[in-house]
Structure 1
């Protein structure tokens, strides 16, 4: 009887512990408007952390604001940040088909001012959250989102840092010395057909000419979308040159966490 009671008590304690840990992660769906159009983002934070902390914007792949983007926000919350997975497309535009994704991306990037306005509106949502120190803001993006955060840095937006994962590195924006105030990290695949070596080289040259504080990490043999565990299924279904790489994904995340510790330490 005693052993049974001990086992029961231990089981209850474990359940309570697991429940309390789960309760620490808070999430909220946030609707906001930009130029009369509705957008839906996803805020994540840990309510066991005391006081204000840095905020990180998460910009989705070209598929739209999907589960992967929200998962990244939750990972950031677990690491001690408040994260906002924003929506660059609006009206619930999300897909798993490349043709639709390309159309969504083309519409969003057609007017650079519109793109910047959508990003800025999401940044204000993050800055206004009760847990966020609005002087400490970074942004990270994947694929399409990686290109977005790099362009926001090129435009001189008030960001402490940006991180691009397998994002396009080309841009019509040519920053001058002093334009870029954010520190930049880029993670790219050495076998990424969508971000070839000449594009990486041009990016390095442009950043050097702009006198930006940046770094580029290239993983040999790694394909596009290496951060997304669902990339292999996408490759098989749509015959796309993409693929998840566990090692590259983990090393990129670890590097990002070190990067944030550096830029947010004042």
Structure 2
């Protein structure tokens, strides 16, 4: 099987480090190539059966949250059988950042489902941050002030909604790890259709999906719209459908955090589904390069059945909400 060449399909990223090391990059690019050539969506990696004749137009998009210059990645399918206006899907990256092979692969997967896919930039660098201290420094401002996280994610939703040929009424968001927190914070944002809709309020999302995401709530004093004062009837109008795909052995998300998240979105009146994976699934269960003992000691471990089932559920969620 021909391996994906990142430099060939993303010449804008030539010379940038898009994987932790060459061995890890090889594993991900092999999985990416298999996903591109396999039309079966039920195996967790395949593209849509309609996508065989589609190509992907990829571009780098400069945007901002008002204060910070950001750089997202956009992938749009082209070919026969596509509508004039495509549903749009935000893809939220891990703690590593935007320009990494895993996110590039998932961006293509979403595009091959027939959707306009936009990978947002939460750090304001565009690149991947492979140094842990650098990644922690980039995350700290937006985890300590969740209103900043919401504003930055909102800028991406608004940017995608304004893309030519994107259906503003059919938008969703999918996030991995740190990106899971990002998309849940988008789901937490109050959305009204009246004059009191805030300037930072994004177009309404129909659904969000968090895969081995960080589920920490917005605590008092950390900023952000947590909706604690919302009446249930009002909250139901504001909150999209929420899918949380979680490994029970994830050391970064304690059980009480999962319960608190369930109680919060229940209070909001959200259509919430939480899927718990056992059988060896840990944090990063979708990442096929996480197979070493050192990875497992760090709480990271690929789990094939969890990867396959979680992707199938994401595909079903998007199709149902975009129908």
Normalising by structure 1, we get a TM-score of 0.85
Find the counterpart in structure 2 of residue 31 from structure 1: 62
Distance 1:148 1:184, change over 3 A: same
The aligned residue for residue 60 of structure 1 is 93
How far is 1:52 from its partner?
A: 1.0
Say yes or no: does 1:147 pair with 2:181.
Answer: yes
The CA deviation at 1:22 is 8.0
**One of 222, 233, 244 as aligned partner of 2:281:** 222
| Residue 185 (str. 1) matches residue 185 (str. 2) | no
C-alpha contact 1:43 1:83 (8 A) present in aligned 2: yes
Instruction: State the match for 1:94 in structure 2.
Output: 128
Question: For residue 265 of structure 2, what is the aligned residue in structure 1?
Answer: 207
* Aligned twin of 1:259: 317
Question: Bigger shift: 106-115 or 172-181?
Answer: 172-181
For residues 44-99 of structure 1, the C-alpha deviation after alignment (integer angstroms, 9 at most, x for no partner) is 11111231111000000011112222221110001111100010001235222333
Greater shift in the superposed pair: 198-207 or 161-170? 198-207
Deviations 1:155-213 (A, max 9, x none): 13521110001112221235432334200000000110111222212222222222211
CA contact (8 A) 1:93 1:104 kept: no
Query: Quick check: 95-104 or 213-222, which moved more?
Result: 95-104
Shift in Å, 1:244:
1.4
Secondary structure of 1:244's match? coil
- Relative to 1, partners in 2 of residues 1:97 and 1:243: Cα closer, same or farther, differing over 3 Å? farther
Q: Distance in 2 between matches of 1:228 and 1:63?
A: 13
Aligned to 2:157: 123
Assess, with a 3 A threshold, how the Cα gap between structure 1 residues 262 and 143 changes in structure 2: closer, same or farther: same
Q: Could you say if the C-alpha distance between residues 22 and 89 of structure 1 is closer, same or farther in structure 2, counting changes exceeding 3 Å? A: farther
Deviates more, 1:94-103 or 1:42-51: 94-103
Rounded Cα–Cα distance in structure 2 between residues aligned with 1:164 and 1:64: 16
SS of structure 1 residue aligned to 2:291: helix
- Whole-angstrom CA distance in 1 between matches of 2:74 and 2:57: 8
Unaligned runs of 5+ in 2: 1-36, 38-50, 192-203, 219-225
Q: Distance in 1 between matches of 2:256 and 2:142?
A: 25
Residue in 2 that maps onto 1:5: none
Could you tell me whether the CA contact under 8 Å between 1:26 and 1:45 is conserved in 2? yes
Q: How many pairs are equivalent?
A: 246
Equivalent residue, structure 2, for 1:84: 118
The 3-state SS of whatever aligns with 1:184 is strand
> Any stretches of 5+ residues in structure 1 without a counterpart?
1-17
Q: Bigger shift: 208-217 or 238-247?
A: 238-247
Tell me the TM-score normalized by structure 2.
Answer: 0.71
Between the aligned partners of 1:99 and 1:219, the Cα distance in structure 2 is 30
Over the aligned positions, Cα root-mean-square deviation in angstroms equals 2.2
Is 1:37–1:91's contact at 8 Å kept on the other side of the alignment? Answer: no
Change (3 A) 1:216 1:21: closer
The aligned residue for residue 13 of structure 1 is none
